[in-house]
C-alpha cells in the first residue's frame, strides 16, 4: 500500500486496471471506491481525490477504454498491405471485448449517471464505436484497392456489422459466460468472403 502523502505514479491507469479486476471477479455490484483502492493497493481516498465520484470514475474508465480501442483501429492504416486482413481486423474488434469489456459494459449499464456522462462525451466527439467503425471502413477500403479484400465486399457494411456485433456482445455478455472471441473471429472471416 502506498503511504499517505506519497505520490502514486500512473494513478488513473492503476485505478482503472484495479476496477477492471474487481468487476471481472465480482461483477458490477462488487465495484465500490473502497474495492478499487484496495485492489490497487493505494490509499482509500485516492479515487475521490482524482474523480468527483464513482459515476465519474466509471464513465472515465469506459471512455478511456473506448479511446484505446479507437487508437488501435486508427493504427490499421499502417497495416495496409501487411499481414492477414482477418488477423488485423481481429486484433481491433477483439480489443473491444478484451480488458474487461463485457464486465465494464455491464458496469456502465448499472450506473445511469455514468451512462449519461459517457453518452454526452461520445456526442461531444470522444472516440467510441463510431470512430472505430470509420477506421475499420477506411482500412477495408484501402485493402480493397490493393486487391486484398474482394471487390464484392462493402467496407462500410462490414465495419458496421463488426462494430455492431461487438457492441451487441458487450451488452449481452456477463462475467462467467463464454468469451465472445470465437464468434467474432468467425464473423470477421465470414464477412470478408464477400
User: What's the confidence (pLDDT) of residue 175?
Assistant: 61
Give the C-alpha separation, 93 to 16, whole Å: 21
Residue 38, C-alpha cell as written in the block: 484496495
> What is the pLDDT of the chain when averaged over all its residues?
86
> Could you tell me if 47 and 89 are in contact, meaning their C-beta atoms sit under 8 angstroms apart?
no
Q: Please list, residue by residue across 103-131, b when 16 or more beta carbons sit within 10 angstroms of its beta carbon and e when fewer do.
A: bbbbbbeebeebbebbeebbeeebbbbeb
User: What's the confidence (pLDDT) of residue 6?
Assistant: 47
Alpha carbon of residue 172 to chain centroid = 15
Q: Quick one: which of 101, 94, 188 has its CA closest to 143? A: 188
> Could you tell me if 36 and 22 are in contact, meaning their C-beta atoms sit under 8 angstroms apart?
yes
2 band by pLDDT with thresholds 50, 70 and 90: very low
Please, is 176 exposed, middle or buried when counting C-beta atoms within 10 Å of its C-beta (0-12, 13-18, 19+)?
exposed
pLDDT at 177 over 80: no
pLDDT at 3 over 50: no
pLDDT at 73 over 80: yes
Quick: pLDDT tens for 125-174: 999 889 999 999 999 999 999 999 999 999 999 999 998 998 888 777 76
Quick: pLDDT tens for 88-99: 999 888 887 775
User: What's the confidence (pLDDT) of residue 25?
Assistant: 85
pLDDT at 84 over 70: yes
The CA dihedral of 20, 24, 28, 34, to the nearest 10 degrees, is -60
Residue 65, C-alpha cell as written in the block: 477504454
Mean per-residue pLDDT for 115-130?
Answer: 91
Say how many C-beta atoms besides its own lie within 10 A of residue 182's C-beta: 9
Say how many C-beta atoms besides its own lie within 10 A of residue 169's C-beta: 22
Say how many C-beta atoms besides its own lie within 10 A of residue 68's C-beta: 14
Amino acid at each position: 500500500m502506498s503511504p499517505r502523502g506519497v505520490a502514486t505514479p500512473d494513478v488513473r491507469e492503476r485505478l482503472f486496471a484495479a476496477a477492471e479486476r474487481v468487476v471481472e471477479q465480482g461483477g458490477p455490484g462488487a465495484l465500490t471506491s473502497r474495492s478499487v483502492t484496495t485492489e490497487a493497493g493505494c490509499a482509500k481516498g485516492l479515487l475521490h481525490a482524482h474523480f468527483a465520484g464513482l459515476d465519474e470514475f466509471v464513465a472515465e474508465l469506459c471512455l478511456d477504454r473506448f479511446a484505446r480501442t479507437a487508437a488501435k483501429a486508427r493504427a490499421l492504416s499502417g497495416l495496409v498491405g501487411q499481414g492477414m486482413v482477418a488477423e488485423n481486423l481481429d486484433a481491433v474488434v477483439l480489443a473491444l471485448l478484451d480488458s474487461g469489456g463485457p464486465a465494464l459494459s455491464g458496469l456502465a449499464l448499472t450506473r445511469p449517471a455514468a451512462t449519461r456522462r459517457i453518452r454526452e462525451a461520445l456526442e461531444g466527439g470522444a472516440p467510441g464505436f463510431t470512430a472505430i467503425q470509420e477506421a475499420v471502413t477506411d482500412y477495408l477500403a484501402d485493402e480493397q484497392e490493393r486487391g486484398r479484400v474482394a471487390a464484392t465486399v462493402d467496407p462500410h457494411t462490414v465495419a458496421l456489422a463488426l462494430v455492431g456485433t461487438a457492441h451487441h456482445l458487450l451488452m449481452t455478455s456477463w462475467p462467467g459466460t463464454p468469451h465472445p472471441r470465437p464468434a467474432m473471429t468467425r464473423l470477421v472471416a465470414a464477412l470478408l468472403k464477400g
